[in-house]
Every structure is written in structure tokens, then in C-alpha cells.
Amino acid sequence: MITIDLTGKNVLITGGNSGIGKGIADLFLEAGAGVAIADIAFERKYTRISERLIHLKLDVTDRTSVSEAVRTAAESLGPITILVNSAGISTMDYAVDIKEEDWDRVMAVNAKGTYLVSQAVAHQMIDGKIEGRIINIASQAGKNGYRCMGNYCSSKHAVLGFTKVMAIELAAKRILVNAICPGIVETGMKHRERIDGAKLRKMTPEQIYEEDCSQVPLGRTANPSDVANVALFLASPLSSYMTGQAINVTGGMTMN
């Protein structure tokens, strides 16, 4: 049995206080990494939880906040060798009814946030000659279209495009850039989406859940741990010949 050991590696995880990001943070801690969880939900700018775990308040849409968080993470744990961009939000409405402020906010967090944090960490990796990893949490919504999620789908398509460009540009620096495309994952955000989607489509959240499960060939929706396992693989030496990839973790729902 192969055991992935990240001892000596330091990871910055945006949106790591809940959902998929928390699942990744928990697994990376188990694997021995130093972990900086950066999330807008934290009240304090910096909290040391243990020798290998710190919390940072981070607004991924703000360049100053990003610069401070990246610098503090490196000062507290050591150089960042792995970045996981997991911060993300969604709103729901039909495309013809999307409010401009909702469009701007979703694009700011999901697309601009990935750009700002990736850029800051990439500079640190290049300056430190670190052969690092950048792992972007995209979505199968970055490959497909889904009703009532026009802004979210657009933001995740942007994440995949940026992943491919960074992979090409950073390959010579031995910085690998890949994306994970989760399917339907049981998180607080997904539960809220079922409520909002049910109102828009004149259904019940339970009917939405049944519809979700019916679309997955494996017969169930995902847990954050299903995505975290793939993130751990991408952070490990086992993925050393992979970059610019968008890996589906969808139970077979998306196969392209």
C-alpha cells in the first residue's frame, strides 16, 4: 500500500474553513503537511492553532489581503510549496435574470481570486526556486452548462482557462498547475443551492436531490473527502508528470 507523506511541505488552502477546502485541509494535515487555512470567515487576521496549522483571514478578491496572507503563511510555516485554490461562491438565477452585482461577485471570488492568489504564490515559488504545485478547485460546471448557474459556470470555465495558461508558462520552472472538477458534492453551498434552485424551478429541495443522484452513474453524490483524495494525489510525487489537466471527480457524471 502506498502512503503519501507530505512531511516538510507547506500548503496554503483558500476557502479551507468549510466544504471541499476543509476536507482537503484535514487530509493534508493527516499526511504531515504544514497547513495555512485562509478564509474570509475568520475574525482574526492570524491565529496559530498548532505547530503545523494556522488560520488566516483572507479576502481573495483583494490584492493587499492576498499579499499579506501569502507572506504571513510563509513566515509562519516556511515557503509555500503547494497552493490549493478552493475559495468559491455561487448564486442562482436564470441567465436572463442574473443581477449584475451577483455576476460581479461570483466572478470576483471564483475567477479573480484564483488569479490573484495563484500569481502571488507563483512569484514566491519562482523567487525561491521551489518546484511547487498549484491545484485549482474548478468544477464540472467549468466544462458544461447548468440551468440557473450562468455566472458560476462562466467563472469555472475561466478557472480552467487560467489553469492551462499557467501550466504552460510555469512548466519550465517545474511548477505544476492542475485543476480538479468536482461534480455534485455535499457541502453547505450545495445544500443552499438546492433550496434556491427549488424555488426557481418550482420543485422541492428533496426533488432536486433525487434529480442530482439520478444523474450520477455511480449512484451517489460526492463527499468532500472524494475531492480531497485527488488533491492529495496532485500534491504528491505520484503526479510529477502531470500539468494543465482538469480532472473530473464526478462519479461518472462528466466524462470529457
The CATH code of the domain at 10-183+223-249 is: 3.40.50.720
Q: What residue ranges do the domains of the chain occupy?
A: 10-183+223-249
From the list 94, 115, 146, 152, the catalytic residue is 152
pLDDT for res 1 = 55
Q: What residues contact residue 182 under an 8 Å CB cut-off, 6+ apart?
A: 20, 137, 139, 140, 222, 226, 227, 249, 250
Name which of 66, 233, 115 is nearest 57 in CA terms.
Answer: 66
Q: Return d(Cα 17, Cα 141) in angstroms, integer.
A: 22
Name which of 130, 122, 193, 116 is nearest 159 in CA terms.
Answer: 116
Q: What is the pLDDT along the chain (256 residues), one digit of tens a residue?
A: 568 999 999 999 999 999 999 999 999 999 999 999 999 999 999 999 999 999 999 999 999 999 999 999 999 999 999 999 999 999 999 999 999 999 999 999 999 999 999 999 999 999 999 999 999 999 999 999 999 999 999 999 999 999 999 999 999 999 999 999 999 999 999 999 999 999 999 999 999 999 999 999 999 999 999 999 999 999 999 999 999 999 999 999 999 9
Cell of 160: 480552467
Q: Does the annotation mark 152 as catalytic?
A: yes
pLDDT for res 2 = 66
Instruction: At 136, give phi and psi (nearest 5°).
Output: -100, 130
